[in-house]
């Protein structure tokens, strides 16, 4: 008897839903935590001149040595720590899961958080445990976290700092307690570090089981797909074995080196986004019927009476944000908006105010 495709595909893969990325449209795109700013024409021309001399017929430097040197300086990676680069943070998460997976091994993360922690655990056949955050403020439930760590001894713990989608940075003392309690590896995911007040990068080496993960995506280089893992050599030497050769292509390497040589441009854009984030939060708080949460990332989480209706109406008006309703019980009727340019933020607020007003009128009739 001939077997079908489903006879061969692992049951746990068949039960998954593929990670959905909306197709690019002409809408105002405020759904993916991207930096909304472009480079000026002069900088673009300089970058193109670099690419013109890049040898596409040759494999890239497998160790990406020049790029690592630039990243070490910009990200302030301690000189005593090693680094691994990945095709975005996603590949690094996958490398970590592949390295630490084994029979009965557990990956633990608070929820709601970055969905790829759970998905990649399922991809590699690793048991996943999600610990719900506190209901009202998305803080870590430390009693549940520490009890679960003591009971199940997870091999791998991810803590997004600041957290996505809530935008808050967990208390430093809570993270320290988790690192000290865990016997396995604790990875601090600092994807939104450019917009946050604190970092654990400088504390690498204080704890033998601590690693820090970064990305250049939120800096305005999302199209390059470049992530970074930093930590002690003892860990990274083993994790490196799961990295596919030449995973950072030559165009990414040369483009990232160029961009980081002009880091002041990216830093200026980051400061603008932080200032606009404060204004956007203030404007959202002024709209009746909206609950917001303060953010240390480049997005803001907020709750409305009917998230799906608001999302659909915004999309119909050409404004795309993220609807989180239905993704986790703590995110009931929640939406997430990326901080855009002042013009994009104004267009979003104008449409949102109008839609909520219409919804209120409809409900009162």
- Give the CA-trace dihedral at 302, 304, 308, 309, to 10 degrees: -130
pLDDT in tens, 229-247: 999 999 999 999 999 999 9
- Kindly report the CA angle at 25 between 119 and 162, in degrees rounded to 5? 40
- Pick the last residue of a domain from 262, 294, 325: 262
pTM value is 0.94
Do residues 252 and 269 share a domain?
no
Domain that holds residue 305: 5-39+264-359
198 pLDDT above the threshold of 60: yes
Q: State which H helix or E strand residue 175 sits in.
A: helix 172-181
Question: Which residues are CB-contacts of 312 (< 8 A; sequence separation ≥ 6)?
Answer: none
pLDDT digits (tens, 9 = 90+) for 142-167: 999 999 999 999 999 999 999 999 99
How far, CA to CA in Å, does 266 sit from each of 89, 217, 218, 221, 300?
A: 19, 11, 10, 9, 21
For range 80-93, the mean pLDDT: 97
Residue 81: which of 263, 233, 221, 197 has the closest Cα? 233
**pLDDT tens digit sequence for 250-300:** 999 999 999 999 999 999 999 999 999 999 999 999 999 899 999 999 999
Number of domains in the chain: 2
* E strands, 32-148, in order: 82-86, 106-111, 127-132
In a domain, 128, yes or no: yes
Boundary (domain end) residue, out of 246, 262, 278: 262
End-to-end CA distance of the chain: 63
Residue 161 lies in a domain: yes
> Is residue 258 located within the same domain as residue 284?
no
């Amino acid at each position: 008897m001939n077997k079908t495709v489903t006879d061969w595909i692992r049951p746990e893969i068949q039960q998954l839903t593929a990670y959905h990325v909306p197709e690019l449209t002409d809408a105002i795109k405020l759904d993916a935590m991207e930096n909304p700013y472009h480079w000026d024409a002069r900088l673009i021309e300089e970058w193109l001149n670099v690419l013109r001399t890049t040898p596409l017929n040759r494999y890239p430097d497998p160790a990406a040595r020049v790029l690592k040197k630039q990243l070490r300086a910009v990200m302030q990676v301690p000189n005593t720590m090693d680094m691994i680069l990945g095709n975005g943070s996603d590949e690094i998460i996958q490398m970590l899961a592949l390295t630490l997976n084994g029979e009965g091994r557990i990956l633990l993360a608070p929820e709601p958080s970055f969905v790829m922690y759970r998905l990649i655990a399922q991809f590699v056949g690793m048991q996943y445990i999600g610990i719900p955050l506190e209901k009202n403020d998305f803080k870590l439930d430390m009693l549940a976290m520490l009890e679960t760590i003591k009971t199940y001894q997870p091999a791998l713990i991810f803590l997004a700092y600041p957290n996505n989608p809530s935008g808050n940075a967990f208390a430093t003392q809570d993270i320290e307690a988790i690192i000290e309690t865990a016997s396995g590896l604790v990875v601090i995911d600092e994807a939104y570090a450019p917009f946050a007040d604190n970092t654990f990068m400088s504390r690498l080496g204080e704890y033998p089981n601590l690693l820090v993960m970064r990305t250049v995506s939120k800096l305005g280089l999302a199209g390059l797909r470049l992530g970074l893992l930093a930590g002690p050599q003892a860990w990274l030497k083993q994790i490196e074995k799961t990295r596919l050769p030449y995973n950072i292509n030559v165009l990414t390497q040369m483009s990232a080196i160029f961009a980081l040589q002009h880091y002041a441009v990216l830093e200026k854009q980051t400061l603008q986004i932080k200032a606009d984030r404060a204004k956007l939060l203030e404007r959202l708080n002024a709209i009746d019927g909206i609950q917001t949460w303060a953010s240390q990332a480049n997005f803001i989480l907020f709750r409305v009476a009917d998230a799906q209706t608001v999302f659909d109406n915004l999309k119909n008006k050409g404004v795309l944000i993220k609807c989180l309703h239905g993704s986790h019980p703590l995110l009931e009727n929640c939406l997430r908006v990326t901080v855009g340019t002042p013009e994009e933020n104004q267009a979003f607020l104008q449409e949102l105010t109008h839609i909520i007003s219409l919804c209120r009128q409809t409900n009162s009739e």
